[in-house]
Amino acid sequence: MRLSQRITAEFIGTFWLVFGGCGSAVLSAAFPKVGIGLLGVALAFGLTVLTMAYAIGHISGCHLNPAVSIGLYAGKRFPASELIPYIAAQVAGGIFAAGVLYLIASGKAGFELSGGLAANGYGEHSPGGYSLFSGFLSESVLTFMFLLIILGATDSRAPQGFAPIAIGLGLTLIHLIGIPVTNLSVNPARSTGPAIITGGWALVQLWLFWIAPIIGAGAAGIAYRALAAEPQPEVEVKPAAVS
């Protein structure tokens, strides 16, 4: 596939992830009497990745996340030369999705952008009031585990055809853990879109949702290489023949 095709797929896939995941949080989580709640939002994020993995995985690899691209690079699964185009496409897709979501959400009487459009935050902007340290640690650890799932599920030695299911369920699980802490990111593109539309505090706190996921992803890439490396066969050294 040409690079242009792959980054277009990444743009569309990241759009779907942010629109589907954040859209479920903004439009459906607290819908009167029949809201989907935290469990529904977590499942929505997992479903976006699962569906896109089958739709575009064979085109671009379905990263949908700058941290995933960086983690795959650290694990020697992705070339450095394509990092910038992939990340640019992912961020653009996230921003476009947040813009479309805002246009839809603002069509309801009484809508206020101050709610954050599912933006990520810590301290007073954490859903559960968690601190900067808690937010940083949770985003780093959960991204680390998410990348281990991705690297393991897509390993050529793993059962074939099931990677999207494992990755989608993995993303659902980490949302169940992390939504109360930061609204959960583990994805700088997912954080950037809502932060740009929301502005103010969301932009001020955006740095954490780039740095922590990248640290966690990079560490996972290095760790998986060490964990999954094939042992080298022992070579018997024979003494040189004496003439």
pLDDT in tens, 50-99: 999 999 999 999 999 999 999 999 999 999 999 999 999 999 999 999 99
| CA separation for the pair 146, 22 (Å, rounded) | 19
Q: Give residue-wise pLDDT tens across range 165-219.
A: 999 999 999 999 999 999 999 999 999 999 999 999 999 999 999 999 999 999 9
Q: Measured between alpha carbons, how far is 24 from 155 in angstroms, rounded to an integer? A: 31
pLDDT digits (tens, 9 = 90+) for 120-164: 999 999 999 999 999 999 999 999 999 999 999 999 999 988 999
* Residue 6, pLDDT above cutoff 90: yes
Which CA distances in Å does 185 have to 4, 26, 46, 58?
27, 15, 13, 25
Alpha-carbon distance of 86 to 221, in angstroms, equals: 17
Q: Does domain 3-106+117-226 have CATH number 1.20.1080.10?
A: yes
Taking the CA atoms of 29, 143, 65 and 197 in sequence, report the sign of the dihedral they define. positive
> Is the overall model pTM greater than 0.85, yes or no?
yes
